[in-house]
Amino acid sequence: MANVSKQVLDEAAILTNDRAAVRRAREFIDRLCREPVRPEYLEECKRLYKPPRFEDQRARVKPEQERARHAKLWLVRLKEYSLPESEVERYEQGEAKAEKRVKTRARSTTDSFHWPSKPRMADELELGDWIIQATTYKDKSIVVSPPRQLLFIDHYIRDRSSGKERWVFHTEVPRLGESMTWAGFRSAARAVFGAGELTPPRTRPIRDVRAADHLLDLWTPGGRVSRR
């Protein structure tokens, strides 16, 4: 893909008032804005820039060269579980770190979930990715929480004798967010998945952008269940 990008440049623009599209654009810009752009850096960019050369025919990408599309949204299945007392202090250290990363404290707070071993999504998730979690409680009820964004992933050794780790996913969530029942979520998501695909809930990436936007749009930007 790197060789292709040197030979082919694609640009696109869109004018829209769709909330999901605007939200995606803002998330993308936020990911790029890691540090200020100063005059010295701009001069260095101009020095290094080389205009692209276009061939008569675009380079073709073979199917085996194509990369899987990054999933900006994950559905995560959880179960009610209390951490052992021996882990609480270390766990809280991560929570304190997460609180410092919240951008809008008036509207957002932190939350987290954890895994007893490294899950596949730990290698795929990026800062700012969205997560919708479905939690099964001891009474067998399943509650779907409003979308939250990843702040960072923490992990530590929870059992030194065996070397077992704890993987903790710290997220930013809306303070006034509303949850919905699994039945309500599944009904609203049928337009994307069909009834059978979400029975029972399972951890999975949502790679299709339209599907991800549809699920995120079940809530307002403030985390309230959308009444549309």
Mean pLDDT for 123-138 is 94
pLDDT of 128 over the 70 cut:
yes
CB pairs under 8 A, 24+ apart, for 89-97? Answer: 90/156, 91/166, 91/168, 94/154, 94/168, 94/170, 95/170, 97/152, 97/154, 97/170
- What pLDDT score was predicted for residue 203? 92
Is the torsion defined by CA of 82, 83, 85, 88 positive or negative? negative
Q: How confident is the model at residue 53 (pLDDT cuts 50, 70, 90)?
A: low
pTM of the model: 0.69
Q: What is the pLDDT of residue 108?
A: 92
pLDDT top residue among 106 and 9 = 106
